[in-house]
Structure 1
């Protein structure tokens, strides 16, 4: 059995499984982790996008999730499924980004509302925050709670099985 991932990511003529890639990455094989990232980058992006709702934030959250997962390889339980473990990390990074964005938007809106009115037209930023985007954001938040959003995202967009969802949740 060949060790290392640099020889084409194969063992005995077959591609390495996700679990084997994790094991190789734990041993310091960066190419094995890169292959794992390649396998999951699209799914990680979709998962993060459904949590964040913004493509740029989703790309950043997916990348942050992969970096965090790499740092946590030593905590990955041998025999566990890598996909739900990795997507849980990505989803957590995306939730953190969404919360931070919500705090920033709330602070900007409160700051704009606290300014004394001098009769001038509101700035474009204030108009956007106070206008349609604010109404859409509030409506979306009222329609789905965190638990519902997580469940729908993991089942229908990340295509996790019920068992994998139970692990993530």
Structure 2
């Protein structure tokens, strides 16, 4: 791949594109996730010479996707067109599940979307994208301890918000 073999790079794209699109979507690219991923793959191809031997490819690639998503998000804010809704990949929603379960998922995802960005991206990577702590740290370019502390604060906020929402639902 580093020597410019386009077939090898095409295989890399085929293998990692679904996870990259999910990452971009859940980190805030919304409906522009595929465009963000395409730009990220172009940047990754141009940066192959700087990829460290022995490093894990997936976290390196997802970090580029996360950075490109962040850049896209900032550009959208500057243009005043920031999307508020998070597009959910179809595989997160099982149409055969009960309505109550679907509503619970929607409440949870809305609560995650309501977290401050610094907490939301860590919770998203760790639980929605199912990355481990090391992969989350690499993907977001954060120290592992920062991932742990933000994850703890994010989960505490989610727990409190969902408990409060449950109390409100009981009073309706």
TM-score, normalization: structure 2? 0.60
Pairing 1:158–2:123 present:
no
Aligned length: 117
Give the aligned partner of residue 42 of structure 2.
67
Cα deviation, residue 166, structure 1: 2.2
Aligned equivalents of 1:154 and 1:26: distance in 2? 28
Counterpart of 2:117 in structure 1 is 146
Bigger Rg, structure 1 or 2: 1
How far apart, CA to CA, are the structure 2 residues paired with 1:166 and 1:142?
20
Across the aligned residues of Structure 1 and Structure 2, the Cα RMSD in angstroms comes to: 2.7
By how many angstroms is 1:140 displaced? 8.0
Query: Where in structure 1 are there 5+ consecutive unaligned residues?
Result: 1-24, 107-128
Distance 1:89 1:81, change over 3 A: same
1:153 to 1:142, Cα distance in 2 relative to 1, 3 A = closer
Q: Contact 1:48–1:94 (CA<8 Å) still a contact in 2?
A: yes
- For structure 2, the residue ranges without an aligned partner over 5 or more in a row are 87-109, 143-172
CA contact (8 A) 1:47 1:91 kept: yes
What's 2:5 paired with? 29
What is the Cα deviation at residue 70 of structure 1? 0.4
